[in-house]
Structure 1
Amino acid sequence: MAADGSALPASPLSRDELDRVVTNAHAALGRVQRDDGHWVYELEADATIPAEYILLEHFLDRIDDELEQKMAVYLRRIQSDVHHGWPLYHDGDFNISASVKAYFALKAAGDDINAPHMKRAREAILAHGGAERSNVFTRFQLALFGEVPWRATPVMPVEIMLLSRSAFFSVWNMSYWSRTVIAPLLVLAALRPLALNPRQIHVRELFRTPPEKVRDWIRGPYRSNWGYVFKGLDMALRPLVPMIPAKTHEKAIKAAIDFIEPRLNGKDGIGAIYPAMANTVMMYRALGVPDTDPRAATAWEAVQGLIVQKDDEAYCQPCVSPIWDTGLSGHAMIEAASGPNGIAPEKTLAALKKTSAWLRSKQILDVKGDWAINKPDLAPGGWAFQYGNDYYPDVDDTAVVGMLLHREGDPENAESIERARQWIIGMQSTNGGWGAFDIDNNKDILNHIPFADHGALLDPPTADVTARCVSFLAQLGHPEDEPVIQRGLDYLRREQEADGSWFGRWGTNYIYGTWSVLCAFNAAGISHDDPAVVRAVEWLRSVQQEDGGWGEGCESFEDGPRGTYKQSLPSQTAWGALALMAAGRRDDPAVSRAMSWLASQQDEQGEWHEDPYNAVGFPKVFYLRYHGYKQFFPLLALARYRNLETSNTRRVAFGF
């Protein structure tokens, strides 16, 4: 029996059974491909985003009661039965900030505070220190509703928008998501509007100390002594901010607006992420811009595009992920169609030809985004994560899409691949790694300012993104790229953990990172007997579950156990098996057991199911559940396993 009491997987899959599982998974993934060739799955976060959406409607007095009731159903469903608050991911620990927002939103939606679920939530919030202990973004939300004084928020004068790129606190030293969220938030903080709040919903009952009597809103915990230094700076600046000349203040607000408006991004929204969009909607209202103004109307439309409505519930996504989903789905489909036993190769390749055309149409070729601040002479050539986000192409997406276009093989892809190659090379940071959106965005001291209590103000290089870039360039095989690849490999070697794993950053977590890097090593021709590879393989074997699968909880982002979870998960099992196959261990019993486990978990429709979250936005603050991961990654792993059986070299010819 497995550790969770379930039966261990059967003996190794027969060839017929393997073919059946791959065929069914291929059909299931094919069914959800859109007519134009792309894929897009739901992208779910925690209670925070739908709660913020409900509060946004009450800020604006644009209340859609039917939608709010559906979101209330969702919020009640994900409330914990254990700690009675709201976690940041499935079955996670209590989170004070998510719980405060969810409670506030449910009260706004009409829930009686004496209802059992509200009473339990309130008691949990008070037991954890009350709403006064919520994070910075929650306190900004509370300030907009008049629940806390503005002194509850850190000093962030809008004059920051006037600082040059060379200034330490310049927004250009922050990540893309920080810039797009902060710019409209600074205007709101400067104007200090009060929510219309037509039903006059307030949450004084969530505070252990009346907000007006709280003396110290910024009291850690600090990640280093810099936290104390910046708290002192915050205290010193508070009496000085009101003394800033009115003309300077107005100039700064204009600078923020001048930053925002070229980046409004139509129906896809500024930054194509919810917090930036919502802040912009509120900013326009605070500025007195009518809702019918094209800028305000389009900003509101962008927010509406993130809502997922079902029969009985609804939630708001943090963003959408069509480029990422399409790239990964395409890799799984082409793997299933490859080899002597490829599934419907002609039909699949015809469908992927449409995919390639759709992806080519989404490549960003005529906009130099914020990345160009550091690389003004670099030609654009990346892809965004979302349908449209031209100012912010994603390095990770670009590498994944580039590998797919190269593998798909249509000659019409050549120019797109070359533009992507040049852009990826140009985006390499000085330490040899790659960040997700920026170059050398690594002034870590900024993560210690009071505003950055989430610890994610920056976009430094990471092992998983670097691995994908190395894989892409190695797959293309241009000899002149060898120095670039080698710098990337050197970075990856430095980043290996003592136990042999790699930190994943954008996926959960050490299994994800280790899979990513072993793929890159394999594509770059690193020996399967290289000590770094051997250590990684041994770590993966050590964390494999008794039932043959792999699982890792988001707790590993919070100093919890690495590479382990209370159950095996389809996405994690696929990553673990793909990692071992990339390390030349296709015939390892660990891989065979993983394949058997995946086969045993597939349903009659050819699909897999998993509730736990499988990715992260900001560790310890914001987590993600990609609904597509449980489908395309198992297909990729099973098809790779099948294809390597007939390979003479057992080396994967592609970087992914």
Structure 2
Amino acid sequence: MTPSADHAGSALLIADTLDHTIDQAASALRRAQRPDGHWVFELEADATIPAEYILLRHYLGEPDDLVLEARIGRYLRRIRSAEHAGWGLFHGGGFDVSATVKAYFALKMIGDDPQAPHMARARAAILAAGGAEAVNVFTRIQLALFGGPWSGVPTMPPELILLPRRFPIHLSKMSYWARTVVVPLLVLGALRPVARNPRGVRVDELFTGRPAPLASRSADVSWMWGAGFGALDRLLKAADGWWPGRTRRRAIDACVAWVTERLNGEDGLGAIYPAMANSVMMFDALGYAPDHPARAVARRSVERLLVHRDETDETYCQPCVSPVWDTALAAHAMMEAGDEASADAGLAWLAPRQVLDVAGDWAEERPGVRPGGWAFQYANDHYPDLDDTAVVVMAMDRARGRTGAAHEEAIARGTEWTVGLQSKDGGWGAFDADNDHGYLNNLPFADHGALLDPPTADVTARCVSMLVQLGETDSARMTAALTWLERNQEADGSWFGRWGVNYVYGTWSVLCALNAAGIGGEHPMMARAADWLEAIQNADGGWGEDCDSYDLARTGHTPAASTASQTAWALLGLMAAGRVRSPAVGRGIAWLQARQEPDGLWGQEMYTGGGFPRVFYLRYHGYPKYFPLWALARYRNLMRGNGERVVWGM
């Protein structure tokens, strides 16, 4: 059903099909809820993580598991691009030499014939792109561990961990994900172990013999900092082997102690695959036996990331899991749809996962702040994040009328922690305050351009939404936050979205926050953003945006086929801007209704989650399940004037 140009909203609203669409989606989401009340959906990245998993097994010389390898091989071959013969960083993405080298290596490792057509074409594409010399830092390290050259790997001595905090290059100045990935790599880089590799597989055929410089993907790069850090790398390489033995031993011991303190049980170091795998290889390189408690639990943590798809006889490895994020967002969608019981079960599951006793790495910058946040994963006590915390607190606040005082303390502690981690410029980053030392992205080791965790529009908007929903409107910190958002609006009226793709995500987030703060749709900041959303709507009525919109040139929104999650974000943003009756909203609602699948939900192969812009993207399998329901239910509630279920914080 398509609304007319003047959007006779009432006709669409009272139609039985809208209620039916919402009921079907809510029922399907309810069926996906786990018995203990939480939701968790697959979190899929690109070929690199399952390829690295294969290489990890062979690095360790683990017993063959031919069935598992065959399943992962089928997955890797299926996601290969038919257009450029290699692997990209997201569905439909262009050729990426690093992802292709890892996928090629993994497939060769499990027995694919290098002369097979898919391997030959991938190899030709790699060589045309500069060969294995042209890959990024982390791929260079993988190759070096299998006998490749260390000369192309930037030097990061383990003594880095011994430096005082005031030193310009210090772990505390890096993001949480960088710290957890880098510390075990400091040990591996010092010891330079060689993989067991029982099958003796190498990829020498991918090397051209021509060195290639590392290409940074950061907007912070300057020739002066780059030249300085390049000179430092050359100096460190020249000094290699001359470090005092006692100091080296002390540095390695400090790295091991740092990792061991943060092992996080079977949820793993940092609860992210690269850090978890690196910790296993570090323990192995140091001679820890497979049954050593630290090494064993680190190894088990990796296995928990595997996803087995019986319907396709495939297996892949997730980069991490997202139960807290999925549960909090699904709870919001269910409350919007009127299913308070399912939402309350999710909140009951979330409550005991609040981190109340661990002062994580964030405390180095904010030592006087009490813990009180939520992490993204099942457990990651050293690294709760502001985004999850704000979304959980808002959901608990929405349920206050039913749950009474059950979540009062949780809300108070979550708010206290969030307020305590506001950065000096008024914004919020995801995991740390004032993690904005841009010069560090000039380190040769930081070619991915994501060494830092500075404030972003999406996270700042979520924190603003939370504070306003809790009653804070006129305060110095609120003024600073709103000023930050206004200062960071793009010239076309949109906002950059760090953790979701991209300008649609950022703009939705900020519009909801501004509406919550009492800034009306007629305000220039709101009107420009809403106009922008309407202007980029696809002809079919939906919205889409490609991951290439993260291009360093900041060229803005990159048009793409409509997706369920991005359409939902755009609709929620426009409704927050007061345009519920606009033709654009009517067309978007109709797009979602027309594309609901028989199971009551929506499909989506496109990647709409951000890991590291320009480097690593995520396909949240939950996004097309709860966001469309949320948008449709909010539309119905607004049109019917059901104020009880309409909360503008999100």
TM range, smaller chain: over 0.9
| Equivalent position of 1:421 in the other structure | 415
Give matches, 1:403-414, under 5 Å.
403-409=394-400, 410=403, 411-414=405-408
Give matches, 1:282-361, under 5 Å.
282-311=281-310, 312-337=313-338, 348-361=339-352
SS at match of 1:567: strand
Quick check: 1:323–1:387 contact (8 Å CA) kept in 2?
A: yes
- In 2, distance between residues paired with 1:150 and 1:180? 21
- In 1, distance between residues paired with 2:215 and 2:580? 52
| Equivalent position of 1:257 in the other structure | 256
Q: Which amino acid aligns with 2:316?
A: Y
- Give 1:468's match in structure 2, choosing from 441, 462, 470: 462
Q: CA 1:304/1:649 → structure 2, altered by over 3 Å: closer, same or farther?
A: closer
- In 1, distance between residues paired with 2:561 and 2:111? 37
- In 2, distance between residues paired with 1:460 and 1:564? 24
| Equivalent position of 1:340 in the other structure | none
Quick check: 2:334–2:342 contact (8 Å CA) kept in 1?
A: no
Q: Deviations over 1:226-257 (max 9, x none)?
A: 22332122112211232210101001001101
| Equivalent position of 2:157 in the other structure | 157
Quick check: 1:523–1:652 contact (8 Å CA) kept in 2?
A: no
Quick check: 2:217–2:449 contact (8 Å CA) kept in 1?
A: no
Quick check: 2:492–2:532 contact (8 Å CA) kept in 1?
A: yes
Q: Deviations over 1:244-283 (max 9, x none)?
A: 1010100100110111111000010010000000000001
| Equivalent position of 1:240 in the other structure | 239
- In 2, distance between residues paired with 1:258 and 1:367? 17
SS at match of 2:617: strand
Q: Which runs of 4+ in 1 moved over 4 A?
A: 11-14, 214-222, 648-652
Quick check: 1:555–1:561 contact (8 Å CA) kept in 2?
A: no
Shift of the alpha carbon at 1:486?
1.7
| Equivalent position of 2:567 in the other structure | 573
| Equivalent position of 1:532 in the other structure | 525
Shift of the alpha carbon at 1:605?
1.5
Q: Deviations over 1:24-65 (max 9, x none)?
A: 010011000011111000000000000000000000011422
Q: Which amino acid aligns with 2:506?
A: G
Q: CA 1:646/1:569 → structure 2, altered by over 3 Å: closer, same or farther?
A: same
- In 2, distance between residues paired with 1:565 and 1:23? 31
Q: Which amino acid aligns with 1:400?
A: V
- In 1, distance between residues paired with 2:29 and 2:362? 34
Quick check: 2:331–2:346 contact (8 Å CA) kept in 1?
A: yes
Identity %: 56
| Equivalent position of 1:190 in the other structure | 190
Q: CA 1:552/1:219 → structure 2, altered by over 3 Å: closer, same or farther?
A: closer
Q: CA 1:548/1:284 → structure 2, altered by over 3 Å: closer, same or farther?
A: same
Q: Provide the TM-score with structure 1 as the length reference.
A: 0.94
Q: Deviations over 1:512-560 (max 9, x none)?
A: 0000000000111112211000100111011001111100010101258
Shift of the alpha carbon at 1:215?
5.3
| Equivalent position of 2:222 in the other structure | 224
Quick check: 1:551–1:573 contact (8 Å CA) kept in 2?
A: yes
Deviates more, 1:437-446 or 1:604-613: 604-613
- Give 2:548's match in structure 1, choosing from 542, 555, 565: 555
* Unpaired stretches in structure 1, ≥5 consecutive residues: 3-10, 338-347
Shift of the alpha carbon at 1:219?
6.8
- In 2, distance between residues paired with 1:227 and 1:203? 31
Quick check: 1:43–1:320 contact (8 Å CA) kept in 2?
A: yes
| Equivalent position of 1:492 in the other structure | 485
Q: Which amino acid aligns with 1:331?
A: H
Quick check: 1:584–1:650 contact (8 Å CA) kept in 2?
A: no
Shift of the alpha carbon at 1:365?
0.5
Q: Which amino acid aligns with 1:229?
A: G
Answer yes or no: is 1:655 the counterpart of 2:649.
yes
- In 2, distance between residues paired with 1:381 and 1:233? 40
Quick check: 1:187–1:283 contact (8 Å CA) kept in 2?
A: yes
Q: Which amino acid aligns with 1:365?
A: L
SS at match of 2:544: coil
- Give 2:597's match in structure 1, choosing from 593, 596, 603: 603
Shift of the alpha carbon at 1:580?
0.4
Give the alignment's Cα RMSD to 1 decimal.
1.7
SS at match of 1:168: coil
| Equivalent position of 1:629 in the other structure | 623
- In 1, distance between residues paired with 2:543 and 2:254? 49
Q: CA 1:220/1:590 → structure 2, altered by over 3 Å: closer, same or farther?
A: closer
Shift of the alpha carbon at 1:354?
2.0
SS at match of 2:98: helix
- In 1, distance between residues paired with 2:389 and 2:481? 16
Quick check: 1:269–1:302 contact (8 Å CA) kept in 2?
A: yes
Q: CA 1:220/1:146 → structure 2, altered by over 3 Å: closer, same or farther?
A: same
Answer yes or no: is 1:126 the counterpart of 2:127.
yes
- Give 2:496's match in structure 1, choosing from 482, 497, 503: 503
Shift of the alpha carbon at 1:379?
0.6
| Equivalent position of 1:344 in the other structure | none
Q: Deviations over 1:59-118 (max 9, x none)?
A: 001142211111110000011100001000000000000000000000001000011100
- In 1, distance between residues paired with 2:492 and 2:215? 35
Q: Deviations over 1:328-354 (max 9, x none)?
A: 0000000000xxxxxxxxxx3233222
Q: Which amino acid aligns with 1:357?
A: A
| Equivalent position of 1:200 in the other structure | 200
Quick check: 2:564–2:624 contact (8 Å CA) kept in 1?
A: yes
| Equivalent position of 1:95 in the other structure | 96
Q: CA 1:280/1:86 → structure 2, altered by over 3 Å: closer, same or farther?
A: same
Shift of the alpha carbon at 1:565?
3.0
Q: Which amino acid aligns with 1:378?
A: V
- In 1, distance between residues paired with 2:128 and 2:435? 38
Aligned residues: 631
Quick check: 1:508–1:615 contact (8 Å CA) kept in 2?
A: yes
Q: CA 1:119/1:329 → structure 2, altered by over 3 Å: closer, same or farther?
A: same
Q: Deviations over 1:575-601 (max 9, x none)?
A: 001000001111111101100010000
| Equivalent position of 2:84 in the other structure | 83
- In 2, distance between residues paired with 1:614 and 1:219? 25
- In 2, distance between residues paired with 1:587 and 1:568? 21
